[in-house]
Amino acid sequence: MEDHAPYPSYGAAVQEPPAAPAAPVSVPAHDPFPNPVPEPNRRGLRGRIASAGSAIVAVVAKFFTAIKAAVLLLPKAKLLTTSATALLSVAAYSLFWGWPFAAGFVLLIFVHEMGHVIALRREGIKASAPTFIPFMGAVIASKSLGENALAEARVGLAGPLLGTIGSALVLAAGEALNSDMLRALAYVGFLLNLFNLLPVTPLDGGRAMAAMAPWMWFAGLAAVAALVFIAPNPILIFILLIGALDTRRRWKARSTRTLEQAAYYRVKPRGRLLVAATYIGLIVILAVGMEVAHVLASGGHSFSSF
């Protein structure tokens, strides 16, 4: 994550010379309207719609900028430690799934986020421990995601990679203990990591696309928009708006074609191939894991029994 300083504000105003006094206006005595009648607003409907749309976009952008700033500040709050926010998330999820499943779900999120933390520290970047946000997952704070797009891709894919291993271990435990709850938990873990591979920022798949093919961000936005249309969900809407704003910002920066931007997105073919192989391999493994966990957990019965 990059921190941007606000634009400087210049408070000094330029003093203008006093305006010349207006010439007196003579109004005939019989004129029933001594005050001038303002000209009617002749802007067309298209202009008014454009102005309203610009105002709405500006308000939404400021709103989500404020949310992003608040999320970045969460890990710095002394009371909101990893353990405290994890317990809060377990309590929230247990309202729907019961506390054993909720605790396992939060643990899988922790494993996923620790993949990012480990990768960031391997890149020499200081990263905070995960801070959990109920129904939104978890976040970690860092000053950047790496010095170039390849490092960003490594950091992004490290989460699903470790998350996939964690879900596979839960599935193995479910088989060893003959526990349908653990099998169902593994299924949700595979699904969670697969969803994070959608090629749109701020999801992990969008980080991988920075090194593979940045134009795929637009395909990812289209996929999230389709999901919002098929199954409207506040989290999907949030990801769609954040992704649209971030994609617009990053694509505009790339269009400047500065040396800094060119150096950031310059990835050797070998690096791009490794990222692509990891990305596609994770998708295949996660899809197979979901299928295996579903078959083993259902066994002819419905998940509704949990």
> What is the tens place of the pLDDT at every residue in 24-80?
444 444 444 444 445 445 455 555 555 655 555 554 455 445 555 545 555 455 445
The answer to which of 65-79, 94-108, 114-128 has the lowest mean pLDDT is 65-79
Q: Is the pTM of this model over 0.85?
A: no
- Give yes or no for a contact between 162 and 112, defined as CB atoms under 8 angstroms apart: yes
pLDDT score recorded for residue 279:
97
The total of other beta-carbon atoms located within 10 Å of residue 128's CB is: 16
Q: Which residues of 130-148 are buried (b: 16+ CB within 10 A; e: fewer)?
A: bbbbeeebbbbbbeebbeb
pLDDT at 287 over 90: yes
Strand partners, 1: none
Give the residue, 15 or 215, on which the prediction is more confident. Answer: 215
Is the torsion defined by CA of 168, 169, 171, 175 positive or negative? positive
- Give yes or no for a contact between 241 and 64, defined as CB atoms under 8 angstroms apart: yes
pLDDT score recorded for residue 47:
58
CA–CA separation, 282 and 194 (whole Å): 8
pLDDT score recorded for residue 243:
93
The answer to which of 72-76, 153-157, 211-215 has the lowest mean pLDDT is 72-76
pLDDT at 297 over 80: no
pLDDT at 278 over 90: yes
pLDDT at 21 over 50: no
Contacts of 172 (CB under 8 A, 6+ apart): none
pLDDT at 6 over 50: no
pLDDT score recorded for residue 29:
43
CA–CA separation, 190 and 292 (whole Å): 10
The answer to which of 137-141, 152-156, 208-212, 242-246 has the lowest mean pLDDT is 137-141
Element housing 281 (H / E): helix 269-298
The answer to which of 43-57, 86-100, 124-138, 165-179 has the lowest mean pLDDT is 43-57
Confidence class of residue 256 from pLDDT cuts 50, 70 and 90?
confident
- Give yes or no for a contact between 200 and 220, defined as CB atoms under 8 angstroms apart: yes
Domain boundaries, the chain: 79-305
CA-to-CA dists, residue 194 to 163, 167, 242, 275, angstroms: 10, 11, 19, 16
* Per-residue tokens: 157: 């894919």
Confidence class of residue 118 from pLDDT cuts 50, 70 and 90?
very high
* Per-residue tokens: 138: 């978890």
pLDDT score recorded for residue 31:
44
CA–CA separation, 223 and 235 (whole Å): 14
* Per-residue tokens: 248: 């617009």
Q: What is the mean pLDDT of the chain?
A: 79
pLDDT at 16 over 50: no
pLDDT score recorded for residue 73:
54
Which residue has 């969670």 as its token pair?
192
Contacts of 157 (CB under 8 A, 6+ apart): 204, 207, 208, 275, 278, 279, 282
pLDDT score recorded for residue 233:
87
Give the residue, 139 or 276, on which the prediction is more confident. Answer: 276
Give the residue, 204 or 9, on which the prediction is more confident. Answer: 204
pLDDT at 236 over 70: yes
